Structure 1
Amino acid sequence: MSLNDTYVSLSREIAASGARMVAVTKTHSVEVIQSLYDLGHRDFGENRVAELAEKHAALPKDINWHFIGHLQTKKAKNVVPLAHLIHSGDSLKLLRELDKRAGGNSVDVLLQYHIAVEESKYGLTRSTGVELLDDVSRHPLRNVRILGVMGMATYTDDRDLVAEEFRTLHEIYSEVKETYFEDNPMFTEISMGMSGDYRIALDQGSTLVRIGSLLLGERQ
């Protein structure tokens, strides 16, 4: 199946569930990204700051770049001017640094929660998330806007486990929305699901799915 056919099929399927696709283009060429752009796609995901900067400079400026990798605090200043949405807000320290580096511009962020069995994945727990949000409530962020939550499921063939983890993230989203963002119409995003589990994520209410290999093949 051609890139065009694969893209159209995935886009329709994901849109039918009320979600959007972030095309994960890490290690893929500028030419590949331009091909998707020419098909009308605008949401692209990168997980390395240097690679994001190179592609941002080379490609059309109306692309919505999603930073989807772990973000070190020391690199926050480099991502702020480039990213449409940062999916990996996993600590209060990082949010404060992004806020400081924003230069008066809005920086949109998702809170990353650890929902997987694997300990290697980053993210907040329910309790550390409450601590972070309580601190933000007492000392509001001036430029950072928290728009939702993100999480990655365990890398496994156990579909029931993956579905349970995605349900957990949806529950966290609902709890955070009710407690901290009930009157904020911008808090709407649940970023979960990748090439291997996006259908399960859509069933559990994902609004953003990150699709790489299923769309573009294995990384270059």
Structure 2
Amino acid sequence: MGIKENLEQLKITFKKQDCLLVAVSKTKPPGAIKEAYEAGIRDFGENKVQELVEKAPQLPKDIRWHMIGHLQRNKVKHIVPFVYLIHGVDSLRLLKQINKEGEKVKRVIPCLLQIHIAKEESKFGLDEKELEDIIWGKEMQHMEFIKIKGLMGMATNTDNPETVRKEFGYLKSLFEEIKTKALPKQVEMEELSMGMSGDYPLALEAGSTIVRIGSAIFGARNYNQTS
């Protein structure tokens, strides 16, 4: 099936879910993104800053660009003027850099704090203590150009659904627990980003509000095509 047909199938699944579908367009050319756009998608996710910066000017201005990959501090400045949401904030140092660059362009940058929920050590993310230190730490009081919109997590890459279900369940419970507490003005626990092409049904079951889907829309990745 093509992009349009794949999206029609996904829309049936998402129709009853209060969940945002982000089309992961990394390694996909602008033509493929335009096809998804014409099928009604407005939210697209990229995991490399260079690719995002190259593609954005070539595509419709009302696209909401999501930075979903690991973000290096020295590249933050390239996306803060236009990025819709940064999903993977995994350190206080990165958050401070986003705030600094946001101040330069006088724009509040929406972010999600990435929590390490997977068994793989290679995946990035905060533990509970680091999360609490960021949300309720003294540094947060001085960050006027960021808005924490919620949490993000990536489950273990496994064929065992119970492992994934447990990890998503943990992140959902952490999300709900934080929502019950008094939060700084820069923090709003509204979004829970979890789930990709291989595990999004489990993410929806767990209560995800944002899923990131690439291959189920665009097909297999082509690492030779970046623009």
TM-score (structure 2 length as normaliser): 0.92
State the 4+ residue runs in structure 1 displaced beyond 4 angstroms: 182-186
Among the aligned pairs, what percent are the same residue? 43
Indicate the SS of the match to 1:139: helix
Are the equivalent residues in 2 in contact too, given 1:90–1:113 (CA < 8 A)?
Answer: yes
- C-alpha displacement of 1:180: 4.2
* Alpha-carbon separation, structure 1, partners of 2:202 and 2:113: 21
- The change in CA–CA distance for 1:185 and 1:12 in structure 2 (over 3 A counts) is farther
2:79 counterpart of 1:79: yes
- The change in CA–CA distance for 1:98 and 1:180 in structure 2 (over 3 A counts) is farther
Structure 1 runs not aligned, ≥5 long: none
Q: How does 1:162-173 map to 2 (within 5 A)?
A: 162-173=164-175
Match of 1:70 in 2: 70
Structure 2 runs not aligned, ≥5 long: 223-227
- Higher relative CO (Cα under 8 Å, sequence separation at least 6) belongs to 2
Match of 2:132 in 1: 130
Q: How does 1:9-88 map to 2 (within 5 A)?
A: 9-88=9-88
- C-alpha displacement of 1:20: 1.2
* Alpha-carbon separation, structure 2, partners of 1:176 and 1:24: 28
* Alpha-carbon separation, structure 2, partners of 1:182 and 1:167: 25
Q: 2:144 aligns with which of 138, 142, 149?
A: 142
* Alpha-carbon separation, structure 2, partners of 1:191 and 1:144: 18
Match of 2:225 in 1: none
Indicate the SS of the match to 2:137: helix
* Alpha-carbon separation, structure 1, partners of 2:204 and 2:184: 23
- The change in CA–CA distance for 1:166 and 1:120 in structure 2 (over 3 A counts) is same
* Alpha-carbon separation, structure 2, partners of 1:120 and 1:180: 33
Which amino acid is 2:176 matched to? S
* Alpha-carbon separation, structure 1, partners of 2:213 and 2:184: 30
Indicate the SS of the match to 1:121: coil
Deviates more, 1:180-189 or 1:48-57: 180-189
- The change in CA–CA distance for 1:67 and 1:184 in structure 2 (over 3 A counts) is closer
- The change in CA–CA distance for 1:183 and 1:16 in structure 2 (over 3 A counts) is farther
2:94 counterpart of 1:94: yes
2:180 counterpart of 1:178: yes
- The change in CA–CA distance for 1:139 and 1:186 in structure 2 (over 3 A counts) is closer
Please give the per-residue CA displacement for 1:83-119, whole angstroms capped at 9, x wherever unaligned: 1000011111111111111122110000000000000
Deviates more, 1:179-188 or 1:78-87: 179-188
**CA RMSD, 1 decimal:** 1.7
